[in-house]
Amino acid sequence: MTDDLNNILADLTLLGIQKNDLEIEPDKPDTDAKPTSKYSALSVEELTIRLEEIKLRMFHLLAVFSVSLSRDCARGLELWRVRFIDVAEALRDKDAEALRKVVEGHEQFLLTKVCPTPKPKIPLAVQEHEHLRFWVSQLPKPQPPKSDGFCDGLGQFL
């Protein structure tokens, strides 16, 4: 039994897998570390400028959505909202007063939780039904019998 285990380990070593690679080390959670975002390196002024640009873009998408009711605009608005919240969290860590000035008066719109707007999907049964309906509409339609000029229907016997 021990020889088989040594042979297996030798084969794994030939494949480039060491014995230490096979052992799983338990994860050590780091409770003191804060998750760093990609915006943490930016200054307060840069974060404020970025938030103002995102806010303007969100208002533009809201205006277009209110006129067109386009689902693409709603989806884009939610994507920008996610980005706004990420940048806002980075700014809140650095300067909460600057964040308050940016969102003042629009807190409900800018900082609400993102609600996903899925892309509309057409069920397969509906697709198949419409496909069949299209092909049936392409079939030649039966033509009514041609009139011989007489309205009595006996024109064929003339």
DSSP 17-51: --HHHHSPPPP---SSPPPPPTTTTS-HHHHHHHH
The pTM of the full predicted model, rounded to 2 decimals, is 0.51
Has residue 154 been placed in a domain? Answer: no
Q: Two tokens at 38? A: 């990609």
Question: How many domains are contained in the chain?
Answer: 1
Look up the domain containing 128 and give its range.
Answer: 40-136
Has residue 3 been placed in a domain? Answer: no
Has residue 150 been placed in a domain? Answer: no
Has residue 16 been placed in a domain? Answer: no
Has residue 132 been placed in a domain? Answer: yes
Residues 6+ apart with CB under 8 A from 102: 48, 51, 52, 55, 88, 91
Give the pLDDT of the chain (158 residues) as one tens digit per residue.
Answer: 556 556 655 554 444 444 444 444 444 444 444 555 677 777 888 899 999 999 999 999 989 988 998 888 888 888 899 899 889 888 888 888 888 888 888 877 887 887 766 666 778 888 889 989 999 889 888 877 676 666 666 666 66
